[in-house]
Structure 1
Amino acid sequence: MAIKPNNTPNTTLNRQGSPQKWLIFFSVIMAFFAYLSTQHVDGEPYGFLSFLPAMLILCVAVITKKALESIFAGIIAGLLLLDPSNLVSGLGDLSISVVMDETIAWIVLVCGMMGGLINMLERGGSVLSFGELLAKRIKTKRGTMLTTCTLGVMVFIDDYLNSLAVSASMKSLTDRYKISREKLAFLVDSTAAPVCILVPVSTWAVYFAALLEENGAAAEGKGMSLYIDAIPYMVYGWAALLVVFLVAFGILGDFGEMKKAEQRAQAGQPIPDGIQQDGFDTSALKKTPPLIGLLNFLLPMAVLIAASVYYDIDLLLGALVASMFTMVLYFWQRLLSFAQLVDAMLDGFKVMLHPIAVVCAGFMVKEINDQLGLTPYIIDSLTPFLSKEMLPALVFASMAMVVFATGSSWGVFVVSLPIVIPMAISMDMSMPLTVGALLSASAFGSHACFFSDSTVLSSQGSGCTPMQHALSQIPYALIGAVIAFICLVTLGFMLA
């Protein structure tokens, strides 16, 4: 389907004002943050001021609909608040510390390799074969949405794999039934992190089980047992699954930005204005028999999952093995030459550069929020309202807020666990319920934040911007959050 010419920048500029006005506006905002830094006394906590960079990010994002630019505004504001005289060197030091972080290096490599793998699957024709096979068996819009959700649940080993693989395999089918790319991103994202926390054989389970042991929530070697005990109490994961299947069945309707996106799709334009093709070149696509094409899709996916499990749920090593396997498989069948396979890997990595930049910028925001003491401030602010019964619900609410503001669903808990776990132990609260509340908060933040890794990758894979995806998804995420909060209040009183 032809994509309409992108006139968005000009219309946006005319609607929002001249560059000079924006320059003056942001200069005033940044001067305000620099002034606030002079009012802070060294050695004292920043208190409410620690909230302001995150609030600026959200405000700029809503106004501009741009994720990376909004995060950068928050980074500059945070650095000015910390030390306006050290802005340039502070930005350089922050960039280096984030780039050198082991987690960031892992994310960059995983995202790049997953982009390369999916690009090879696209160019080899296997994704097309998989889509055509589904198209022969799925004849309705509802069936397409339910199949997308089901595939998302089946690909439970990692939210990155889910976000990229499921969206790539379902795009042609959802376009056929006039399902907007925003809804595809919602269906995919809702079965990414929310599902991964519910399965003990996932990257999330391995990571958090180790954290629980390090912070005294579980004895050495018992972290996974505690994680499994907490699965029934990971209520946001269950609530998000309930909501997404209600949407897929057509019981829960479209509203807000999702309604606008679906109306546009029903008019024959599932792809939003201004969105270019995802960069996966299929011009040299070779036709293969349907069964062979299906095997060429399923075998690399099976190898990816098996290798990841073999290497202790490490998606990086799994993607490396699957990429080598796919290159050998396609070269042996003469689907692509070795040079074409290498180009496919490199081009796939290029396609992922923007999502990688957004995720890295999100980690820079997390580092600034740590220096400002955002997490301790929120927890300390809620402490006067804490009781044994309300602890799980308030832990969920506070940590969901922090993860939403920082986009770091994993990094935040390195800071929060040493605070929350002793609090739960002192109140003699059920540890599985407390862990369930923490993981629920993590899943909500990953699901709802417009610059979280899961949101960015789901939008990239589906073919819309992170802001288009986030704004259309947030009402459904909030419904899940309300359900989770009510459930945690009820469980808190039942198990206290």
Structure 2
Amino acid sequence: MDNFGALGLIPPLLAIALAFFTKDAVLSLFVGVLSGTMIVNSGNLGSSLLDVSNLFAKILGDAWNVRIFLFCALLGGFVGLLGHTGAAHSFGVWAAKRLKSGQSSQFMTFIFGLIIFIDDYFSALATGSIMRPISDKTGTPRAKLAYNVHSTATAVCVIVPVSSWVVTIMSISKDAQGFESLGLSPLEFFLGLITYNLYAFGVLLFVLGIIIFKADFGPMKRAHERAKEGKLFDEEKFGLVPNDTEFVENNRANPFDMILPMILLICSVLVFFPLTTMIAAIDGSKITSLTQAYHSMSLSDAFKNTDASVALLHSIIFTFFFTFIYYIFRRLVSAKASMAAVSEGIKSMVPALTILILAWSIGTIIKSAPSEGGLGLGVYLSGLVVNGDFPVFLLASIVFLVSGLISFATGTSWGTFGIMIPLVMPIVTALGVSNNMGLEELQNITFICIAAVVGGAIFGDNASPISDSTILSSTGAGCPVLEHIATQMPYAVTIAIAAAISFLFTGIFGSIAVGWVCNIALLLAALFVLPKVWR
């Protein structure tokens, strides 16, 4: 027996159903994992719990997983350190002196979101806290600040390959059944995925378009009209403003103290990606030195063949160490206070790390063969879809909508990645094989469908009232949560409709170029039409 048949659908469907009813991604994913082990153990709860325990240990015993786990934890510590030095506040003060209009402050908010890309939580709080006094001074409604902060923070995290989101997508994808048929490393897969993410880029383009063309509509337009009267948020209608989380003010800090660690992180990643491959090539016989390793391969091959988990862990440790020393040397923070900040930062990552472990676990249960303690769901679904002559071109749009619903219900993109990627990968790769696709065509359709998962997850995160990033964006911007949701929803839905239609055309023509043309055309039409008809 190579699969449990339709019984294998129970864990993901149960996780999805619980997500809708409980709004708790951790509980939903755990029950999904437990239900999978109970199917394998014929309903024996005791054996199932033992298997869950062993599964967690096995997952954290994997070298890739451990390094990704440590990267995310240390990234949280790094963010905690950045937030307690006064560097962000200093940068905000510097920027405030140069911004005179609402449009310029919105554009700077957008730029901040692009720069602070390492973590959506940090970006939401840092950008909102830095830009709030500037936005207030220029008469920008708090709802608009929250929208710019939230949208940019989540979209950029899945585009720039140095974030906890990216390593999560890579690690879940590489373990999904069918990934090996793509002939790509996890890093190559993610880099190939970037240009296919129509929703994420659509968000950034839409935010920029609204700023440039002043094309607000619906509830956001009314928020701008209230702001002209001096009412930057509507506490009477939408409730209290969440507690403002200000970053530490430090007279010793300057803007460079914020910029340097970010540059250091980017540069260290660019160095360690090829360097990791070269170090691994030293075998002690034919290649005995780093110089020989350097001359034995091209730089592009060194980048493509790297172990991303090793490179990212080296990068964050290197950046963390030198940033720590730099801040101590600059006397921005004491050693004791800096360690307390690091500890708080790591604690802030615990919910995300818990979801990551559970996502790995349910993915393992789904894809593994019964002989390995799994359900073999990928084999069952791929056979079912292939034998049923399911049209490939519809898959991306359907996947986008389903992922959006799951993310909206759970309030988490990561949990959606963990449920949907292990389901979609074997289906799309099997369809590719059954349709006699070549390797390049198979990679193309896989990129389209996984990008649809990622895009749908981000949409759900943007629209969900229970998303952590929704709450943090409201908090950072000093905007009532319900006002942020009410004003952002029309924008998020507009972009999602454009993305869903574009994914459909991408699937029909098998070309991302067609999808891009469609996406840009629909977004431009929305920017010019909706402000005129939706007042």
Aligned to 1:310: 271
| CA distance in 2: counterparts of 1:91 and 1:332, whole angstroms | 50
Aligned to 1:434: 445
Distance 1:177 1:212, change over 3 A: same
Distance 1:231 1:174, change over 3 A: same
- Cα distance per residue 1:53-75 (max 9 Å; x no partner): 312221232xxxxx46xx42564
Distance 1:143 1:408, change over 3 A: same
- Contact in 2 for aligned 1:444/1:477 (Cα 8 Å): no
- Contact in 1 for aligned 2:366/2:377 (Cα 8 Å): yes
| CA distance in 2: counterparts of 1:213 and 1:79, whole angstroms | 20
| Aligned residue runs from structure 1 range 189-338, under 5 A | 189-192=150-153, 194-195=155-156, 198=159, 204=166, 207=170, 215=179, 218-219=182-183, 224=188, 232-248=195-211, 250-253=214-217, 255=219, 266-267=233-234, 273=240, 282=248, 285-288=249-252, 293-312=254-273, 314-338=311-335
TM-score normalised by length of structure 1: 0.67
Q: Which runs of 5+ in 1 are unaligned?
A: 1-41, 62-66
Aligned to 1:407: 415
> SS of the residue aligned with 1:151?
helix
- Contact in 2 for aligned 1:171/1:462 (Cα 8 Å): no
Between stretches 177-186 and 235-244, larger displacement belongs to: 177-186
| CA distance in 2: counterparts of 1:212 and 1:379, whole angstroms | 13
| Aligned residue runs from structure 1 range 59-458, under 5 A | 59-61=21-23, 67=24, 71-72=26-27, 75-76=30-31, 79=34, 83=38, 86-87=44-45, 90=48, 93-94=51-52, 97-98=55-56, 100-101=59-60, 102=62, 105-106=66-67, 108-154=69-115, 160-161=118-119, 163-165=121-123, 167-174=125-132, 177=135, 186-192=147-153, 194-195=155-156, 198=159, 204=166, 207=170, 215=179, 218-219=182-183, 224=188, 232-248=195-211, 250-253=214-217, 255=219, 266-267=233-234, 273=240, 282=248, 285-288=249-252, 293-312=254-273, 314-357=311-354, 359-360=356-357, 384=388, 386-394=390-398, 396-397=400-401, 407-409=415-417, 412-414=420-422, 416-427=424-435, 430-431=441-442, 433-450=444-461, 456=468
Aligned-CA RMSD value: 5.0
Between stretches 232-241 and 80-89, larger displacement belongs to: 80-89
| CA distance in 2: counterparts of 1:267 and 1:349, whole angstroms | 35
Structure 1 letter corresponding to 2:506: L
Q: Which runs of 5+ in 2 are unaligned?
A: 274-307, 368-373, 512-535
Between stretches 306-315 and 339-348, larger displacement belongs to: 306-315
- Contact in 1 for aligned 2:120/2:469 (Cα 8 Å): no
> SS of the residue aligned with 2:6?
coil
- Matched length: 434
User: Percent of aligned positions with the same letter in both sequences?
Assistant: 21
> SS of the residue aligned with 1:177?
helix
- Contact in 2 for aligned 1:450/1:470 (Cα 8 Å): no
Distance 1:228 1:114, change over 3 A: closer
| CA distance in 1: counterparts of 2:177 and 2:375, whole angstroms | 27
Distance 1:443 1:229, change over 3 A: closer
